[in-house]
Amino acid sequence: MNIPRYYLSLIDEKNFQNDPIKKLALPDEDELVIAGSMGETTTDPYGDDKHNKGNGILHKYPYSALIVATDYCSMYCRHCFRKAIVGLPNDKTVENFKNAAKYIKEHKEITNVIISGGDPLLISTSRLIAMLEELKDIEHINYVRIGTRTPVVYPMRFFDEELLNYFKEFNKVKTLYIPTHFNHINEITPMATKAILKIREAGVTVNNQAVLLKGVNDSAQDIENLMNGLVKIGVNPYYLYQCMPVSRVRNHFQVPLKDGIDMVDDAKTRLDGYAKRFKFIMGHDIGKIEIIGRIDDKLILKHIHSRPEFPKDASKCMIMKLDDKAGWLDDMQEIKF
């Protein structure tokens, strides 16, 4: 575990047991349950292992390459789906960024690069700049993303003027995005707001990928508060992920799909257009699947990305038989017409 003092200070001691920040940050005895009543679990729900090309590159969809730039994070989130590698020695982290950049140069189908981890903002500014310099002049890359939770858990990282000035310069050549990960309105503090403003002043767009988590943000009101809070500080709500079936996570954090879609639909009846732009998503081994809605006991899904072996699935719709307990695609049967 690792928790920055700033993030620890957000826990409301008067509501300690039920505090959402506490649940996101502090280990709990529920983590001793590897699978549990919600069903089977895995340490690799997204199928990262299959798409590992060496040199720290994960290449799942033809157009996107992900670079595992570090295994460190400023906080080890209790619900992390890369729990099996972050904070631990592993062979997936990039050792030689030049070799990673070489792979990207050679694969002209790649239109965008995600620098991820762990949390790349834990890398020193000079090293991060050296990494971005390698990508800046690759013609076929349209944009670069840096996936980071530091705006949420360690926002003071963005008070580094050298970093922000570089972002501004980089962004003139190649568009830079920061996908981040706010899960609860209590994380949208004056300090986090200031960090977001600094990023935006550098011309960088910030998109949010939240995770629906039991006991943290599992009500329509929580979702509404979060999405309204994000648009207020200039962050675009992008994804709300269904919690993956990760070992030591699923049993106590996953919300049944039926409850989840009802909460999302309820929240969306009150959210304005910008606040309800997010998609409710399952990041599955077979691709990214949007959870569109439900009609009684039928759940309507749509692929938005699929693995290259199954190009015809890329925009496929599916209708699944839903019960009260199902929490993942594999818990449901497809209804064929």
Q: Residue 4 or 203: which CB sits closer to ligand SF4? A: 4
Q: Residue 118 or 287: which CB sits closer to ligand SF4? A: 118
Min separation Cβ 147 and ligand SF4, Å: 7
Answer positive or negative: Cα dihedral of 220, 223, 322, 78: negative
| 94 is a site residue for ligand SF4 (CB under 6 A) | no
CA 16, CA 19: separation in Å to the nearest integer?
5
CA 192, CA 189: separation in Å to the nearest integer?
5
Taking only Cα atoms into account, the Rg of the chain, rounded to an integer number of angstroms, comes to 19
| 82 is a site residue for ligand SF4 (CB under 6 A) | yes
Q: Residue 152 or 322: which CB sits closer to ligand SF4? A: 152
Q: Residue 76 or 97: which CB sits closer to ligand SF4? A: 76
236-242 vs 175-180, strand pairing mode: unpaired
Q: Residue 120 or 294: which CB sits closer to ligand SF4? A: 120
Q: Using the rule CB under 6 A, which residue among 10, 21, 69, 80 binds ligand SF4?
A: 80
Select from 80, 168, 79 the least CA-distant residue to 116.
80
279-284 vs 236-242, strand pairing mode: parallel
Q: Using the rule CB under 6 A, which residue among 23, 59, 149, 157 binds ligand SF4?
A: 149
| 257 is a site residue for ligand SF4 (CB under 6 A) | no
Min separation Cβ 152 and ligand SF4, Å: 8
Q: Which residues make up the interface to ligand SF4 (CB under 6 A)?
A: 73, 76-77, 80, 82, 86, 117-119, 149
